[in-house]
Amino acid sequence: MTAAVAERQRGIGSAISDVFFVRPQLLTFLLLTPPLLWIGVVYIGSLFALLLQSFYSLDDFSGLVVHEFTLSTYKQLFEASNAQIILRTVTMAALVTVTSAIIAFPIAYYAARYARGWSKALFYLAVMMPLWSSYLVKVYAWKLILAKEGIITWFANVLHLRWLLDGILALPVVGGPSLSFSYLGTFLVFVYIWLPYMILPTQAALERVPVNFIEASSDLGADPRQTFRTVIFPLALPGIVAGSIFTFSLTLGDYIIPQIVGNSRLMIGQAVYTLQGTAGNIPLAAAFTVVPMLIMAVYLWMAKRMGAFDVL
């Protein structure tokens, strides 16, 4: 019997295949070891080094890092100028996330529910294509669009809406000399750049809501608004939360967009960039980096508490 089964001539390759087939956990182990080592050493390791740095401090006189445990660096975060950077960045990230979610949902809903064939292909193309071109090119393009001599100003003039644009720019805080030198401009570019990261997970979540559920809900007496509130939205929520993790954390950490489009007030990313570079204050840079991580941890914990991942 055994002889009959093993009769066929086998090479070394198929012998290895046989071993893996019989012991799949061996294959899993071999496949996972390199990436786990990479994540463990390079990723977690550097994260740990970062955390360690944030508990050191900078000697003000010598400009050297003092390798002694202290919480004084973290205390510096609460100084008015630093706290303002954090507050500014978190507010911006929150607004960008909420706006992205509001814009993304109808697009994702259309794509998941109605787009078929070519219109679905067009959707993916339209959402993904901005990701194919360089981030820097897009941001600089936006700078030109938003500039005082840019197309938006031009359009405002053509449509005799210059008063509206000037009115918006005259608003306190969000306004500025031109859109490209205002919080509003930074905000618009952030929303544009991160929108695909909100659309795609939302669409994936909506895609997994069977038509059956919507029919069952209407069968049980729910009008479309009630169905949306009680069935579609709760089931799409994990996708929206996943998308918001992207938009929120990407905005929290970005230092290029506010550098190119916006007023000269710093965001967390820019602060880190400046502190680790010219200022050489690695400990404070590290402490600043811990802030987004903490915020994200709290955010995820709250999302979990609210049941956003219950259907996953």
Partner 1 sequence: MSFMSPAVRFQNVSRRFGSVRAVDGVSLDIEPGEFFALLGPSGSGKTTCLRLIAGFEQPDEGHIEIFGERADGVPPYRRNVNTVFQDYALFPHMTVGENVAYGLMIKGVGRAEREAKAKDALAMVKLAGYEVRRTAQLSGGQRQRVALARALVNGPKVLLLDEPLGALDLKLREQMQEELKTLQTSLGITFVFVTHDQGEALSMANRVAIFNEGKIVQVGTPSSVYERPASRFVADFVGSSNVLPPEFAAAHGGHAMWTSLRPEKIQISSKSNLVPAACAHATGTVTAISYQGAVTRITVATGKQALIAATPAGTDVRKGDSVTLIWPKSAMVAMGEDA
**List of residues contacting partner 1 (CB under 8 A):** 210, 212-213, 215-223, 226, 230-231, 234-235, 307, 310-311
The answer to whether the CB of 202 falls within 8 A of the CB of 239 is yes
Q: Which two tokens stand for residue 187?
A: 């905000």
List 245's β-bridge partners, or say none: none
Q: How far is the CB of 237 from partner 1 (least distance, A)?
A: 9
Distance CA 244, CA 198 (A): 6
Contact 297, 248 (CB under 8 A): no
Confirm if 186 and 92 have CB atoms less than 8 A apart: yes
Name the minimum Å distance from CB 107 to partner 1.
Answer: 23
Q: Output the smallest distance, CB 114 to partner 1, in A.
A: 16
Nearer to partner 1, 157 or 230 (CB): 230
Comparing CB distances to partner 1, the nearer of 33 and 226 is 226
CA distances from 274 to 136, 174, 190, 201, 285 (A): 19, 24, 21, 33, 8
- Which CB sits closer to partner 1, 277 or 307? 307
Q: Which two tokens stand for residue 270?
A: 């820019």
DSSP-derived 3-state class of residue 8: coil
Comparison of 32 and 220: residue with beta carbon closer to partner 1: 220
135 vs 213, beta carbon nearer partner 1: 213
The distance of closest approach from Cβ of residue 247 to partner 1 in the complex, given in angstroms and rounded to an integer, is 23
Q: Which CB sits closer to partner 1, 79 or 310?
A: 310
Question: Distance (Å, rounded) from C-alpha 73 to C-alpha 275?
Answer: 12
Reduced to 3 states (helix: H, G, I; strand: E, B; else coil), residue 283 is helix
CB of 208 to partner 1, least distance (A): 10
Minimum distance between the CB of residue 34 and partner 1, rounded to whole angstroms?
A: 35
